[in-house]
C-alpha cells in the first residue's frame, strides 16, 4: 500500500464518520415551523444577511414584508431593488428616525406606528417572511416596549419566519429567538478612511 492509498483510506473513514453524525442530526431535526432569527453585533453584515435570506425565501415563491425602523438620508440599494417586487411589501418608518431628528416624541410616535403595522403582519397567515431591520434601536431608545414586541412575535402564525437586526438585542427578544448570530467587528474599511459607497454600505 502506498502513502496515497493510506491517506485516501483515512480520508474516506473521516468522511464516513462525519456523514454518520450529520445524518443523525438531520434525522433528529423533524420539527417544521417558522423561526425567529436575530442578527446582532457591531460588525458589518446584519442587514445584508437578512436581505439575502429574504431573497432566498422569495426564490421559493414566499411572500415577504420588510419594515425598516431607521431611515437614512439616502434610498438604500435593498429598497430600490425590492420595493417593486411583487412578493414584497416594503415599508420605511414614516417620520424617519435618524441621528439627526433628535425629537423624542416624533420618534416614539413613528416607532409605534411602524410597530402597529408589524403586529398586523405578525397576524397575517399569508406572509411567510418578515424582516424587521434595526428594530432593536427602537427598544434600546425606549420607543417600544420589549415585552410588547416579544409577545407579538411569539404569538405569530406557526410557519412564519422573522428576522430582526440591530447591534444589541433586548433580553426579551433573545428569550424567544431560535437562532442568534453575532457579527463581530474585526475590521471595517470606514476606519481606514474609505468613504461609504452605494452597493456596499447602502
Binding interface with ligand ATP (CB under 6 A): 42-48, 165, 167, 183, 185, 188, 190, 196, 201-202
Q: Does 57 bind Mg ion (CB under 5 A)?
A: no
Grid coordinates given for 200: 456596499
Binding Mg ion by CB under 5 A: which of 37, 41, 47, 93? 47
Piece in contact with Mg ion (CB under 5 A), picked from 18-26, 47-55, 91-99, 169-177? 47-55
Nearest to 169 by CA among 43, 50, 35, 41: 41
Indicate which of ligand ATP, Mg ion, none lies near residue 201 (CB less than 5 to 8 Å, by partner kind).
Answer: ligand ATP
Closer to ligand ATP by CB, 9 or 52: give it: 52
Contact between 40 and 168 (Cβ < 8 Å): yes
Closer to Mg ion by CB, 134 or 172: give it: 134
Nearest to 164 by CA among 35, 25, 27, 2: 35
Q: How far is the CB of 50 from Mg ion (least distance, A)?
A: 8
Query: 174: which residues sit within 8 A by CB, 6+ positions away?
Result: 38, 180
For the four alpha carbons of 48, 85, 164 and 196, in that order, the dihedral sign comes to positive
Q: How far is the CB of 134 from Mg ion (least distance, A)?
A: 6
Q: How far is the CB of 167 from Mg ion (least distance, A)?
A: 8
Closer to ligand ATP by CB, 11 or 190: give it: 190
Closer to ligand ATP by CB, 7 or 42: give it: 42
Closer to ligand ATP by CB, 9 or 185: give it: 185
Q: Which residues bind Mg ion (CB under 5 A)?
A: 46-47
Amino acid at each position: 500500500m502506498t502513502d496515497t492509498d493510506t491517506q485516501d483510506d483515512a480520508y474516506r473513514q473521516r468522511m464516513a464518520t462525519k456523514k454518520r453524525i450529520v445524518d443523525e442530526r438531520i434525522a433528529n431535526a423533524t420539527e417544521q415551523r417558522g423561526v425567529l432569527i436575530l442578527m446582532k453585533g457591531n460588525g458589518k453584515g446584519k442587514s445584508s444577511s437578512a436581505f439575502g435570506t429574504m431573497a432566498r425565501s422569495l426564490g421559493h415563491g414566499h411572500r415577504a414584508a420588510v419594515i425598516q425602523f431607521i431611515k437614512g438620508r439616502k434610498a438604500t440599494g435593498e429598497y430600490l431593488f425590492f420595493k417593486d417586487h411583487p412578493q414584497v411589501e416594503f415599508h420605511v418608518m414614516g417620520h424617519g428616525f435618524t441621528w439627526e431628528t433628535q425629537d423624542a416624541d416624533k420618534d416614539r410616535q413613528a416607532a409605534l406606528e411602524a410597530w402597529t403595522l408589524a403586529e398586523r403582519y405578525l397576524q397575517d397567515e399569508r406572509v411567510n417572511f418578515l424582516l424587521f431591520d434595526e428594530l432593536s434601536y427602537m427598544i434600546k431608545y425606549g420607543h417600544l416596549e420589549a415585552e410588547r414586541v416579544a409577545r407579538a412575535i411569539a404569538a405569530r402564525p406557526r410557519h412564519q419566519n422573522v428576522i430582526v437586526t440591530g447591534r444589541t438585542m433586548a433580553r426579551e427578544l433573545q428569550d424567544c429567538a431560535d437562532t442568534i448570530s453575532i457579527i463581530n467587528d474585526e475590521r471595517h474599511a470606514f476606519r481606514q478612511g474609505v468613504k461609504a459607497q452605494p452597493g456596499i454600505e447602502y
